[in-house]
Structure 1
Amino acid sequence: MTQNGKSFHLSRRHLLQLGAGAAAFAATSGTAALAQSSPPTELLVTGGGGDFGTYLQKAYYDGFQAASGIKVSPQPYKGLAELKAMVEAKAWGQADVLLISAGEAAIAEKLGLSEPLDYSLVKSDDLLKGSVGKNYFLTNVASSVLAWNTDTVKAGSEPKTWVDFFNPSNRMPRALFKNWNQTFEIALLGAGVPIDKLYPLDVDLALKTLSDIRDTIRWYEGGAQSQQMLGGGEVDMAMLWVNRADGLVSDGKPVKYLNTNTVLDGDAIVIPAGHPNKEKAMKFAAYLATPEPQARLTNLVALGPSNVNAVPLIDPTRLAKTATAPEFAATNRFQDFAWLAENGDRLTEMFNKWLLG
């Protein structure tokens, strides 16, 4: 995901933490919050803050307000634990709509925490295959890319594939996301598994691939940290989220990255199950499925659209920075969000055990 430079972080927002999250949420939610929802002319939407929040305002919120007359009131980011607490407490004053990671959206669907989308209103025919669930769809497309520091990795010796990145004879320090999610997929690509054969994940092979380079790995837990590590020269190569990699390039850092042969995720829209404002929220979902707001976002940040009809509306130089650009799209694939939601507990346990070993 992109809000905080993260995606589907089961190790941080893991299902085992939902009870604790619900308790904390309940402790800080007043009685009024439990009873109230937003006014008829307002929509409460949770999403990323900072620069990304500004991008969302310009790309999504302003246009929806102009088209519908419904004002979008941005709210602080909320994840799966907060969604569960909200639904159980009927705390509708917290949010009408959530923009969360696709993996968490898949879990929310599995747990019955989200409303099924009305696909007679939300037009999904033009959305990319793999980006749509029963209760959610991706509003943008992110990716994990192979990046390197051009000051320390000289021309001609740069990694050209994930197999090069994971080559144990290469002793360069390299940065990886300290989470099985995405990292397992990337490790399997590094082991030579074809991208269309990733699922079900061969966890033993992924762990072996990581073990072979264990002493060269530098772990990061957030997007800003990953940028600091590669841009500052702490590591020579890194698996980075595409918006973070492109941010380094835009800032003039000595960084290049590849947009090919990688896994895709992104932000997904979710409406809390049983929400009294679901009709209004569904209108917002229908709007975000259209090409125009998605194109505006890509023109601001290196995240691709999920609606194929957005492509002609995007500045070609901006589209070329994304993993859904025509020259890259066929080499990449979406994560299997439903499979990850079903197997997340097991994979988290195996990864944490490996980290301790």
Structure 2
Amino acid sequence: MTLHRNTCHKRSFFKIAVSPLLLALGLSCGAAQAAENMVVVGYGGAGQKAQDAAFFQPFSKQSGVGVTQSEYNGEMARIKVMADTGHADWDVVQIEGPDLARGCDEGLFVPLDWQQIGGKEQLIPNAAKDCGSAALVWGVAIAYDADKLKPAPQSWADFWDVQKFPGKRGMRKRAIYNLEFALMADGVKPADVYKELGTKAGVDRAFAKLNQIKPYVQWWEAGAQPAQWLAAGDVVMTTTYTGRIADAYKGGRNLQLVWPGSLYGMDYWAIIKGSQHVDSAKRFIAFANQPDAQVDYVKHIAYGPTNKQAAERLPSDLAGWVPTSTQNLPQGLAMDDEFWVDHGEELEERFNAWAAQ
């Protein structure tokens, strides 16, 4: 989009001239004159509140594009209907890596021109994809209330040990994450998890381990639920997104994380095919990739930034809650997106049938 300088007040022009990328993308008073509104969809809760403060509101203020928010739990079927019919009610969606890869292969998302939106080199490895731009680095780990649970759990074996730690466990109602955790609970080293899951015997082993804990599981489907359940005493420990627990800790609850055996990966921003606001959506992604915006985001919730400069700027008290920090990264397992692209559909179907039994 071209900047019409003669329609803008000189002061406004110089205010944004410091960012050539955003200027080239039309984040100007000229762009602000367009009464446009786009829908951005995420996973809700504290994570989306942080996105609203660091990304949605500042982007809307700077670009003049209104941002309407919605929430979902990763349901690809709805996105597929939008893309297949060409009538997308949503514009930008936050999506997990395997779902992004499958959706990109199926033509559900708009390809990104990385030269147009700032280049790949500003981001950490694997953050820039053909159809998506990493929104954050997340972690999934065991969380517990340190005021209620003593001694503290140390591993996935402890998570499965209902004699030593009696009570309900919270787990996300999907195959992804749970199969990895089950194998680690059964003694598989993190480095060997995906090698084991790549065999029929390994998958059977994971489901057999899940059978042991199933009677004690309370399934969560929204990212806000684990911290709420811990605070209410509904579960004794739970799998959770690490950033949610960091947020709860900041809010005064003594919730803690077990980093050994944690899983980490990235969520991505993707533009749904059929969006009526593709240009604005691309400008939003470019804005969200800026280091200042990302540092601000991590200050609101402790998910890892994807911009290299942002990661270097994090203060030490925040870095301790980030899954890719120097102290936490060696204890974790990187989620294998390609494994879930190749096997996710069949494993999710088996998991859903198993969970319904």
The bucket for the TM-score relative to the shorter chain is 0.7 to 0.9
Partners of 1:223 and 1:66 lie apart in 2 by: 28
Report the equivalent of 2:180: 185
Report the equivalent of 1:4: none
Closer, same or farther in 2 for the Cα pair 1:188/1:290, shift >3 Å? farther
Report the equivalent of 1:229: 229
Which runs of no fewer than 5 residues in structure 2 stay unpaired? 1-31
Cα RMSD for the two superposed structures: 3.0
Report the equivalent of 1:344: 344
Residues 203-257 of structure 1, C-alpha deviations (whole Å, 9 max, x = no match) = 2221122223334333333334322332222332221221332233234334221
Closer, same or farther in 2 for the Cα pair 1:290/1:198, shift >3 Å? farther
Closer, same or farther in 2 for the Cα pair 1:190/1:306, shift >3 Å? farther
Which of the residues 91, 102, 106 maps onto 2:87?
91
* Matching of residue 305 in structure 1 with residue 305 in structure 2: yes
Partners of 2:114 and 2:173 lie apart in 1 by: 36
Give the alignment of 1:56-135 within 5 angstroms. 56-65=51-60, 69-77=63-71, 80-91=76-87, 94-122=89-117, 123-135=119-131
Q: Quick one: which amino acid aligns to residue 56 of structure 1?
A: Q
SS of 2:177's equivalent?
helix
SS of 2:136's equivalent?
coil
1:189 shift after superposition: 2.2
Report the equivalent of 1:210: 210
Which protein has the bigger strand share? 2
Residues 65-101 of structure 1, C-alpha deviations (whole Å, 9 max, x = no match) = 566x352422323653343233233325x34432333
Q: TM-score, normalised by structure 1?
A: 0.76
Report the equivalent of 1:196: 191
Please say if residues 171 and 217 of structure 2, whose CA atoms lie closer than 8 Å, have aligned partners that are also in contact.
yes
Point out the structure with max Rg over C-alpha.
2
Partners of 1:215 and 1:95 lie apart in 2 by: 37
1:116 shift after superposition: 1.8
Report the equivalent of 1:150: 146
SS of 2:157's equivalent?
helix
Give the alignment of 1:24-63 within 5 angstroms. 42=36, 44-48=38-42, 52-63=47-58
1:277 shift after superposition: 4.5
Please say if residues 143 and 265 of structure 1, whose CA atoms lie closer than 8 Å, have aligned partners that are also in contact.
yes
1:282 shift after superposition: 2.7
| Count of aligned residue pairs for this structure pair | 316
SS of 2:171's equivalent?
strand
Please say if residues 138 and 266 of structure 1, whose CA atoms lie closer than 8 Å, have aligned partners that are also in contact.
yes
Please say if residues 131 and 334 of structure 1, whose CA atoms lie closer than 8 Å, have aligned partners that are also in contact.
no
1:351 shift after superposition: 1.7
Residues 125-151 of structure 1, C-alpha deviations (whole Å, 9 max, x = no match) = 343334443211321122112112324
Residues 319-354 of structure 1, C-alpha deviations (whole Å, 9 max, x = no match) = 322212222123324322233133222112322343
Please say if residues 124 and 289 of structure 1, whose CA atoms lie closer than 8 Å, have aligned partners that are also in contact.
no
Please say if residues 144 and 240 of structure 1, whose CA atoms lie closer than 8 Å, have aligned partners that are also in contact.
yes
Report the equivalent of 2:171: 176
Partners of 1:41 and 1:259 lie apart in 2 by: 46
Q: TM-score, normalised by structure 2?
A: 0.76
Residues 113-133 of structure 1, C-alpha deviations (whole Å, 9 max, x = no match) = 112221223422343334443
Report the equivalent of 2:317: 317
Partners of 1:355 and 1:76 lie apart in 2 by: 27
Partners of 2:329 and 2:66 lie apart in 1 by: 32
Please say if residues 195 and 333 of structure 1, whose CA atoms lie closer than 8 Å, have aligned partners that are also in contact.
yes
Report the equivalent of 1:21: none
Which runs of no fewer than 5 residues in structure 1 stay unpaired? 1-37
* Matching of residue 137 in structure 1 with residue 133 in structure 2: yes
Partners of 1:39 and 1:88 lie apart in 2 by: 32
Partners of 2:172 and 2:277 lie apart in 1 by: 37
Q: Quick one: which amino acid aligns to residue 186 of structure 1?
A: F
Residues 25-62 of structure 1, C-alpha deviations (whole Å, 9 max, x = no match) = xxxxxxxxxxxxx9956451413456544422321134
Partners of 2:77 and 2:352 lie apart in 1 by: 21
Q: Structure 1 stretch 121-130 or stretch 306-315: which is displaced more? A: 121-130
Partners of 1:42 and 1:319 lie apart in 2 by: 37
Report the equivalent of 1:161: 155
Q: Quick one: which amino acid aligns to residue 326 of structure 1?
A: T
SS of 1:47's equivalent?
strand
1:305 shift after superposition: 0.9
Closer, same or farther in 2 for the Cα pair 1:198/1:159, shift >3 Å? same
Report the equivalent of 1:289: 289
Give the alignment of 1:10-21 within 5 angstroms. none
